[in-house]
A and B are shown apart, each in its own frame.
Chain A
Amino acid sequence: MAADVHKKKGWEVPNGSLAPGDGQHAERSESPTPGLAQGTEPGAGQEGAMFVHTRSYEDLTSPEDGAAAARSPEERRGEPAEPTSMEQISKDFSELSTQLTGMALDLEEEMRQSKEGKLEPSPQTTHRDSVLSGKEEEDVTMDAWRMHRKHVFVLSEAGKPVYSRYGSEEALSSTMGVMMALVSFLEAEKNAIRSIHAGTALGGNGMWGLMACLAVLLPWATLAVPRGRLVAGGRGCSLAPPCSPGEPGLQVCPRPSRGTPSQADGYKVVFVRRSPLVLVAVARTRQSEQEIAHELLYIYYQILSLLTWTQLNHIFQQKQNYDLRRLLAGSERITDNLLDLMAHDPSFLMGAVRCLPLAASVRDAVSTSLQQAKAKSLVFSILLSGNQLVSLVRKKDQFLHPIDLHLLFNLISSSSSFREGEAWTPICLPKFNSSGFFHAHISYLEQEMDLCLLLVSTDREDFFTVSDCKRRFQERLRRRGVHHALQEALRTPFYSVAQVGIPDLRHFIYKSKSSGLFTSPEIEAPYVREEEKERLLGLYQYLHSRAHNSSRPLKNIYFTGPRENLLAWVTSAFELYICYSPLGTKAGAISAVNKLMKWIRKEEDRLFILTPQTY
């Protein structure tokens, strides 16, 4: 197996316009407070990391060489002065103007709108109950179909439909045609345009109107503005002024922050081209283009994990107009699940993995048991519960990429079929090695226990050896007597934010950059309903996109809204997002951050995996 383990940036690198927002230097450990330097922040592994080191989702989108070049000079100048001490931070926050408050109104409006737009069926009912019995086909001419907050389409470069999140691909063939025309137009412009913004004075017909008017627009647009941004307005289309020369093609386009409700609720059409596939999202969410593109890349990797990059390319080299749905039959559910998961689970946004809270002694016993149940062909042994990591043991010098782990989490959560017997399936881990298959042994430890064991092997003939590893692992668990403790831990897979002891604190996300792990409490009241939870994640997404904006990255963000206040703090070592009561003050938030960081430090051996094991 020719595994290119450290391939952080490979063939999938897009053009130079996708600059990472956070110009991060690994060698910034000379920062004044060693306690916060990368590698020593709470949650950082004591014996190195488990994962391929990733900065965040920029790893997906960052160009190979454009990273340094695209960073603004201000930022580079600002780096040495990066505040790492609490005092500095509180000073910064006090000085920080609350210019972002203006956005809240707009955001509220959008949230309200989305509630009104709840014509859309709940995710549960739109799920394809069974691809076998023919997926539940949605009528693409219905309003309900148009009201979905995020459409995702995958098509081949020949314009053949591959996947549609809602409705059947068949019924969408004309749309796919328009998209293909758009893509070739974008290609002709050397990727100058990656996304299109549209207002929705068009109402429910917005997307179709947009598509139609773009189709008309294309010929002259090509001539007129080579590096312009397309903005399709209500009754016609106009082109936004071209970007300034230094501005990257894909960027967060400033949107009317105090616009009328209809304008605020615009569509974004985002394209990602990964030959031989084209991925398109039509979104009404507040996410930035970068984040939507990031989700599209996940979908692309999901497809690779089923087919491998090599096979995918081979197929289309043989036959350009191949109907890929033949090979992907039955996998729609996995892709659907991935999209739903990305809308609920901050793991994807953070580009990090969440651990099941577990006493360090128990986790160590589990890890040691896993480590001892090894086999020659095993590369990774992963124990997970829900979408949380319990333990991960890896072969020496082999690192898993968080994206690959997310894909494995998604695979397991999207199918209940693993609960029966032992599964043995080929799987490609695209970030690890996109050219070949591993074989994964997937099984639940016990019928009624949400504890899934994943053993990744290089040898497809090794089923019985690997299956024996599982048996040995279970035996060791029993002998060490941690079975009961594990069961207890599974009963409370999430902790309450009340444990932190900060009255105004409602929720937070803390990511340790060096370990690639993050921790976050359960989302509790007032975020009870599904759409409330999604709204909270939407706020985090918004802060994240501001913090990682490629042209204007922010280190500290203080956001006041009518329903909650949020604070984001991004350093080279960690990222912290907190959400607290709207009545809380900025000073209160800063002291909360202090207290919270101390709490995380105190609890870190329970919330993180500090001593990752190798075979």
Chain B
Amino acid sequence: MSGRRVDAKVVLLGQEGVGKSSLVERCAHRRFRPGPYQNTIGAAFVAKVMSVGDQTVTLGIWDTAGSERYEAMSRIYYRGARAAVVCYDLTDSSSFQRAKFWVNELQNCEEGCRIYLCGTKSDLLEEDRRKRGVDFHDVQDYADEIKAELFETSSKTGQSVDELFQKVAEDYVHFTAFQVMTEEKGVDLGQRSGAYFYSCCHH
């Protein structure tokens, strides 16, 4: 699924209840609604315009349902995504295992998709350190291993949420710029070397 309306497709993945929809709500509407929470049905789409330097980038954010029911269908939501925000609940270690599942899935099916690990509900840790169920350094090591960025966010306080999506937008711009450069300005040694040397000798 791709559309001209958006520049970059971003998909949110993760176990149900980790707070993907709240993250989108914070990012798109700058607000947080304390429960009752409702399961996302299928997936919800929100377009968010970000500015990177003097450019604007429209992120098409897909907030997917965490329920296993939609797992078989998740491909349609992450296919062609330029970035995936894989969420886990900082207080729930099982949700991190689920995050690893999604990372594997992306690595196997969507090579071109950059991965952002996002530990959610960090405000709960502010209240009580002992609530942490996923060790920061373990995740950092894992993130390095899979070449992913790591954020610990709170949709309630807004902590690191903007940073996360800003980073996604920036990476998109830089990555795309890099891609354009390699495509158009790259030196193709195999074919153009003769011409290069030829022109060189004449000037």
Contacts and interface: CB of A to CB of B under 8 A. Distances in A.
A327 interface: yes
A130 B37 contact: yes
B183 to A, nearest CB: 25
Contacts of A397: none
Given A327-B68, A421-B46, A464 B5 contact: yes
Interface in B48-67: 63, 65-67
A421 B44 contact: yes
A415 interface: yes
Nearest to B63: A421
A132 B37 contact: yes
B25 A420 contact: yes
Given A133-B35, A417-B21, A411 B41 contact: yes
Given A307-B69, A326-B68, A330-B65, A424 B43 contact: yes
Contact of B3 (A326, A426, A464): A464
Given A329-B67, A329-B68, A463 B39 contact: no
B41 A327 contact: no
Interface string B2-25: 111100000000001100010011
Query: Is the interface on chain B under 10, 10 to 19, 20 to 34, or 35 or more residues?
Result: 20 to 34
Contacts of B4: 464
Nearest to B45: A422
Contacts of A328: 69
A420 B69 contact: no
A598 B160 CA distance: 65
Interface in A377-432: 411, 415-418, 420-427
B21 A420 contact: yes
A130 B69 contact: no
A131 B46 contact: no
Contacts of B3: 463-464, 467
B32 to A, nearest CB: 13
Contacts of A326: 68
A330 B17 CA distance: 10
Nearest to A307: B69
A460 B76 contact: yes
Contacts of A461: 1, 76
Nearest to B75: A460
A130 B35 contact: yes
Contact of B38 (A329, A333, A427): A333
A461 B79 CA distance: 10
Nearest to A461: B1
Given A328-B69, A461-B76, A464-B5, A423 B35 contact: no
Contact of A130 (B36, B63, B68, B73): B36
A331 interface: yes
Contacts of B39: 131-132, 329-331, 333, 415, 417
Interface in B114-143: none
A420 B2 CA distance: 20
A307 B73 CA distance: 12
B158 interface: no
Contacts of A417: 21, 38-41, 44
Contacts of A330: 16, 39, 65-67, 69
A132 to B, nearest CB: 4
B28 interface: yes
A421 B2 CA distance: 17
A132 B46 contact: no
Residue among B28, B66, B76 with the highest chain A CB neighbour number at 10 A: B76
Contacts of A426: 42, 70, 73
Nearest to B72: A311
B44 A133 contact: no
A418 B63 CA distance: 12
Contacts of A331: 39, 67, 69
Nearest to A422: B45
A133 B17 contact: yes
Contacts of B1: 461, 463-464
9 contacts: A129-B36, A133-B35, A306-B69, A329-B68, A330-B16, A420-B29, A421-B24, A464-B2, A467-B3
Interface of B: 1-5, 16-17, 21, 24-25, 28-29, 35-46, 63, 65-70, 73, 76
Interface of A: 129-133, 306-307, 326-331, 333, 411, 415-418, 420-427, 439-440, 460-461, 463-464, 467
Given A133-B37, A421-B28, 18 more contacts: A132-B17, A133-B35, A306-B69, A307-B69, A327-B68, A329-B16, A331-B69, A411-B41, A417-B40, A417-B44, A420-B24, A420-B28, A420-B29, A421-B63, A423-B41, A426-B42, A463-B1, A467-B45
Q: What 4 pairs across the A-B complex have the smallest Cβ distances?
A: A425-B42, A464-B3, A330-B39, A132-B17
